[in-house]
Homo-oligomer: A and B are copies of this chain.
């Protein structure tokens, strides 16, 4: 029996397609969106798919449009992602995520002695810089620590 070379998966009627996600980050995108086993709508994803410009991930979610907070978090881990809003099977909107220049209360500082990790009610604050590739750098505005990788692991 032949494994179909083009496996067809359901398109979505209403919802969001997140395309051009940095390869390997799809599971983190699901985490950002709070998607667990309890989620009842249709979701599909491809991780490390071979696209025209190299490997990428794609996530499709039925019946969900993303909040600004969710978009900002996705931008931090995948600044070249695109967001397609689908209504009645039509792409009604196609945008790129925009990397915020500043984030507050979104990422945990990796410096355990940073005041934002103390018991004080102080939210973490970072300035955000983008490298030419898909790299994102966070600079802590309290302790000046720099986060180059592991942003996904430190999302609050």
Contact = CB atoms under 8 A, between A and B. Distances in A.
Query: Which of A8, A25, A44, A46 is the most central at the interface, judged by chain B CB atoms within 10 Å of its CB?
Result: A44
Most chain B C-beta atoms within 10 Å of own C-beta, residue among A12, A27, A41: A27
Contacts of A50: 10, 42
Nearest to A12: B3
Interface in A50-70: 50, 60
Interface residues of A, number: 42
24 contacts: A2-B89, A2-B91, A3-B17, A3-B86, A3-B89, A3-B91, A6-B11, A7-B8, A8-B8, A8-B9, A9-B49, A10-B50, A24-B37, A24-B38, A24-B39, A24-B40, A27-B36, A27-B37, A28-B37, A37-B152, A39-B48, A42-B50, A44-B47, A44-B49
